Chains A and B, each alone.
Chain A
Amino acid sequence: MLVWILFLLCQVGAPALAQDLCQRDAPNGYKVRISLKTALGEDAYEWNQSEMFFFQATMAFAMRRHFQMETYNVDNIILCVQTSRVSFWFVVTSPDNTTMLIPKADVEKAVRMSRHRINNAFLLSDRTLEFLGIYPTLAAPVNPDTPPWLIVFGVVIGAVCAGIIALLVSSLLQKRRKEKGMTEDGQDEEDMQVKGVENGINLDGTYNRGFTDDDRFTKL
Chain B
Amino acid sequence: MKVSNQDLEERIPSYEELEKLENEEAGDRPKWDNKAQYMLTIVGFCVGLGNVWRFPYLCQSHGGGAFMIPFLILLVLEGVPLLHLEFAIGQRLRKGSVGVWSAIHPYLTGIGIGSMCVSFLVSLYYNTIMAWVMWYFFNSFQETLPWSQCPVNANMTGLVSECERSSPVDYYWYRETLNTTPDIDNTGGLQWWMVLCHVSAWALLFICISRGIETTGKAVYITSTLPYAVLTIFLIRGLTLKGSLNGVKFLFTPDMNELMNPTTWLDAGAQVFYSFSLAFGGLLSFSSYNSVHNNCEQDAVIISIVNGATAVYAATVIYTIIGFRATEKFDDCISGNILTLLNTFDLPEGNVTENNYDQVLHSLNGTNPEVIQGLNLKTCDLNSFLSEGVEGTGLAFIVFTEAITKMPVSPVWSVLFFIMLFCLGLSSMFGNIEGVLVPLQDLGVFPKSWPKEAIAGTTCVLCCLVGLIFVQGSGNYWLSLFDSYGGSIPLLIIAFCEMVGVVYLYGIDRFNDDIEFMIGHKPNLFWQITWRFVSPAIMFVIFVFYFITKVQETPMYKAWNPESENFPTLEEKEYPTWIFVIIFILAGIPGLSVPLTAIYKCLRNRCCKKDNEFKQDDLNTIAKQVHLTDEATKNKPDIPETADGR
Contacts and interface: CB of A to CB of B under 8 A. Distances in A.
Interface stretch (A12-20, A84-92, A101-109, A112-120): A84-92
Nearest to B202: A160
Interface string A27-45: 0000001011110000000
B342 A160 contact: no
Given A148-B141, A164-B207, A208 B629 contact: yes
B210 A167 contact: yes
Interface in A136-180: 138, 140-141, 148-153, 156-157, 160-161, 163-164, 167-168, 171, 175
Given A156-B200, A164-B207, A84 B346 contact: yes
Contact of A38 (B26, B349, B630): B349
B275 to A, nearest CB: 30
Contact of A85 (B156, B342, B451): B342
A175 B342 CA distance: 79
Contacts of B342: 85
Contacts of B568: none
Contact of B203 (A38, A86, A164, A196): A164
Given A36-B349, A153-B196, A171-B451, A218 B211 contact: yes
A160 B453 contact: no
B347 interface: yes
B634 A152 contact: no
Contacts of B206: 164
Contact of B453 (A35, A36, A168): A168
B72 interface: no
Contacts of B31: 220
B453 A167 contact: yes
Nearest to A203: B633
B437 to A, nearest CB: 13
Given A148-B141, A200-B633, A210 B151 contact: no
Given A211-B28, A218-B453, A220-B30, A160 B200 contact: yes
B27 A210 contact: yes
Contacts of B24: 205
A165 to B, nearest CB: 10
B156 A152 contact: no
Given A141-B152, A160-B207, A148 B349 contact: no
Given A171-B451, A210-B27, A217-B28, A83 B214 contact: no
B151 A208 contact: no
Interface in B450-464: 451-453
Contact of A152 (B141, B193, B448, B636): B141
Given A200-B633, A206-B634, A218-B452, A149 B28 contact: no
A84 B633 contact: no
A37 to B, nearest CB: 4
A205 to B, nearest CB: 8
A217 B636 contact: no
Interface string A204-220: 01101111011011101
A26 interface: no
A6 interface: no
B451 A210 contact: no
B349 A35 contact: yes
B226 interface: no
Nearest to B203: A160
A141 B152 CA distance: 7
A183 to B, nearest CB: 18
Nearest to A152: B138
Interface in B334-374: 342-343, 346-350
Contact of B633 (A161, A196, A214): A196
Interface string B24-43: 10111011000000000000
Contact of A200 (B193, B210, B349, B636): B636
A197 interface: yes
Given A217-B451, A218-B451, A208 B207 contact: no
A150 B347 CA distance: 51
B209 to A, nearest CB: 11
Nearest to B136: A149
B349 A163 contact: no
B204 A160 contact: yes
Contacts of B629: 206, 208-210
B203 A220 contact: no
B595 interface: no
B141 A149 contact: yes
Contacts of B156: 138, 140
Contacts of B142: 148
Contacts of A157: 196, 200, 203
Contacts of A206: 629-630, 633-634
B625 interface: yes
A55 to B, nearest CB: 17
Nearest to A206: B633
A135 B630 CA distance: 88
Contacts of A150: 138
A25 to B, nearest CB: 14
Contacts of B5: none
A156 to B, nearest CB: 6
A149 B176 CA distance: 13
B625 A210 contact: yes
Nearest to B212: A220
Given A38-B349, A138-B156, A206-B629, A153 B453 contact: no
Interface in B165-224: 193, 196-197, 200, 203-204, 206-207, 210-212, 214
Given A168-B453, A196-B633, A214-B28, A85 B346 contact: yes
Max chain A C-beta neighbours (<10 A), residue from B193, B451, B636: B451
B139 interface: yes
Contact of B348 (A85, A196, A205): A85
B229 interface: no
A75 B206 CA distance: 78
A37 B200 contact: no
A196 B210 CA distance: 35
A201 B196 CA distance: 61
B634 A200 contact: yes
Nearest to B635: A200
Given A84-B346, A196-B633, A210-B622, A171 B27 contact: no
A33 B346 CA distance: 9
B511 interface: no
A167 B207 contact: yes
B348 A84 contact: yes
A85 B633 contact: no
Given A85-B343, A149-B138, 4 more contacts: A138-B157, A138-B158, A151-B141, A152-B138
23 contacts: A37-B350, A84-B346, A84-B348, A138-B152, A141-B151, A141-B152, A157-B196, A157-B200, A157-B203, A164-B206, A167-B207, A200-B633, A200-B634, A205-B24, A206-B629, A206-B630, A206-B633, A208-B626, A209-B625, A210-B626, A210-B629, A217-B28, A218-B451
Interface of A: 33, 35-38, 83-87, 138, 140-141, 148-153, 156-157, 160-161, 163-164, 167-168, 171, 175, 196-197, 200, 205-206, 208-211, 213-214, 216-218, 220
